[in-house]
Amino acid sequence: METITSIKPLLAVLVSLLVTPLLVSSRTPNVREAWTFVAAIAKFLIVLSMLPTILKGTEIVYTVAEFLPGAAIKFRVDSFGMLFALVSSSLWIITTVYSIGYMRGLKEHSQTRYFCFFAIALSATIGVAFSANLLTLYLFYEILSLATYPLVCHHQDHEARSSGRKYLLYIVGTSIGLALPAMLISYNLAGTLEFGNQGFLAGTASKPLIGLLLFMFIFGFAKAAIMPFHSWLPAAMVAPTPVSALLHAVAVVKVGVFSVVRVLTGVFGTDLLLSFDLGSIILVVCSFTILVGSLIALSQDGLKRMLAFSTIAQLSYIVLGIGLLSPKGLTGGMLHIAMHAFGKITLFFCAGAIFVATGKKNISEMIGIGRRMPITMGAFFIGALSITGLPPCGGFWSKWYLLLGSLEANQMAIVVVLLLSSFLNACYFMPIVYKAFFCKPEDSLFENKVREAPVCCVVPLVITAVISIVFLFYPEPFLELATMTVSRIMGVQI
């Protein structure tokens, strides 16, 4: 594998961090938002400028400080990290537009704090994506946990307080209590923390110890919301909607999943998992989360809470894809990071737009809302299709690959789980869309003519919905990045 050294990864991480003093010192909200935009676009461009190099099969590395042999603060941009960085940095731009519309539309307090911590959270997200080893990943993982705390608790009321407690308890508790010791034990076993194509733990420990480490890592990165460590996510929905949208559908939860995937492939290695037959444990845990998450989502009335449970289920698809330990399964899992991100952020944007325009939070209050907000509900429909995995949306690709992967791995039970889950997805999404458009409004609020949320809220959700459709016809570059990663890891061409 060819590598080049470049400071670009560091820049991509730092750009949003360095902008925070400017945000704090900005005199007017307009200047502040302008700086956020500059940072978001700069970040995206830096990430994008590395894409051609990555697609050529070259990796970009940059070492900040060597702490111990094999455990430096070091960045390495590979195809998988690129995939994730591309998703989160592009969505940050869109979310910034949306945030402006949402925060101003509701006249929220402490907007400067909000934008600052948002920027820091994005720095940490990109940092995780570009980590070359477990130490760096852990570092940015922790920064992300703490940077999102003020965002989750933005409203500073009693509800935010108890949710914030839950959030910290689950996220920081598991990372210090499980992931940190697992990392230290791994380091003591292998003498390195550098992610390898086939991991670094192979041949260093017995099956029980490897199994224990696997358990500690999977549940230690609780941001992946694998049951039973999932309940922070619905609680975190007290945050303003842009936070839920970008962080709790894309950045934070995907960081969790990304970390788990990185650990499974780069620390354990697929061969080791295969030889110890540990993939089936992952499959069981993930299938359980998928089905139970979807079932709980069915029973929810709060729109954002419903989306949260849907997210919990969808996140496990990604880990499940890795757990299949087959090339197509891995591809599907990684691809789902991108596809789910665009679909779910659309849905969250819609929930926020409805809240800004009408103040409604519950599904039961949204009967007939399609007459008043047709664009929003149209986008909601597309997002829902993408999550369910139906054409004409990008979500179809990832589910297709996951199905192929489970056939490839001869896991017929997983095929059933996937199909059942898609059915459940349709069950909880489609009634909302149906009632929105075809039922007679019970609320006089919806009887008048079309009145959408502010433009800043509507445009982003239209964009993400359109992109979701575009992905069906043009899943590049994400598909290519995913297949590149898989062929590098498994040593096979797909």
Q: Where do contacts with another protein occur on this chain (CB under 8 A)? A: 64-68, 73, 106-110, 135, 138-139, 142-143, 146, 150, 153, 155-161, 164-165, 168, 172-173, 176-177, 180-181, 184-185, 187-188
Nearer to another protein, 73 or 307 (CB): 73
- The side-by-side arrangement of strands in the sheet containing 59-68 is 3-5, 59-68, 71-77
Nearer to another protein, 158 or 449 (CB): 158
Nearer to another protein, 52 or 191 (CB): 191
Closest CA to 166 of 145, 147, 180: 145
Closest CA to 436 of 379, 387, 398, 480: 379
Work out how close the CB of 250 gets to another protein at its nearest, in angstroms, rounded to a whole number. 23
Cα 266 to Cα 262: distance, rounded to the nearest angstrom: 5
CB contact burial 2-30 (16+ within 10 A = b; e otherwise): eeeebebbbbbbbbbbebbebbeebeeee
Nearer to another protein, 109 or 207 (CB): 109
**Helices 111-129 and 8-18, packing angle to 10 deg:** 170
Work out how close the CB of 397 gets to another protein at its nearest, in angstroms, rounded to a whole number. 36
- Is the Cβ–Cβ distance between 383 and 346 less than 8 Å? yes
Work out how close the CB of 107 gets to another protein at its nearest, in angstroms, rounded to a whole number. 7
Nearer to another protein, 259 or 422 (CB): 259
Cα 460 to Cα 91: distance, rounded to the nearest angstrom: 9
Work out how close the CB of 357 gets to another protein at its nearest, in angstroms, rounded to a whole number. 17
| Token output for 28 | 């007017």
Cα 272 to Cα 309: distance, rounded to the nearest angstrom: 32
Residue corresponding to tokens 């992905």: 471
**What is the residue-wise DSSP string for 305-355?**
HHHHHHHHHHHHHHHHHHHT-SHHHHHHHHHHHHHHHHHHHHHHHHHHHHH
Work out how close the CB of 132 gets to another protein at its nearest, in angstroms, rounded to a whole number. 15
Nearer to another protein, 138 or 219 (CB): 138
Amino acid residing at 133: N
Nearer to another protein, 138 or 401 (CB): 138
Q: Before 150, cis peptide (omega within 30)? A: no
Report angle CA 283, 287, 292 to the nearest 5 degrees.
Answer: 155
Q: H helices within 373-477, ranges in order?
A: 374-388, 395-408, 412-438, 455-473
| Token output for 6 | 């470049």
* Cα–chain center distance at 140: 15
Nearer to another protein, 56 or 158 (CB): 158
Work out how close the CB of 184 gets to another protein at its nearest, in angstroms, rounded to a whole number. 5
Cα 60 to Cα 50: distance, rounded to the nearest angstrom: 8
End-to-end CA distance of the chain: 19
Work out how close the CB of 159 gets to another protein at its nearest, in angstroms, rounded to a whole number. 8
Nearer to another protein, 42 or 146 (CB): 146
Work out how close the CB of 414 gets to another protein at its nearest, in angstroms, rounded to a whole number. 35
Work out how close the CB of 271 gets to another protein at its nearest, in angstroms, rounded to a whole number. 26
Work out how close the CB of 23 gets to another protein at its nearest, in angstroms, rounded to a whole number. 14
Work out how close the CB of 238 gets to another protein at its nearest, in angstroms, rounded to a whole number. 9
Residue 387 gets which letter from DSSP?
H
Nearer to another protein, 157 or 301 (CB): 157
Nearer to another protein, 181 or 391 (CB): 181
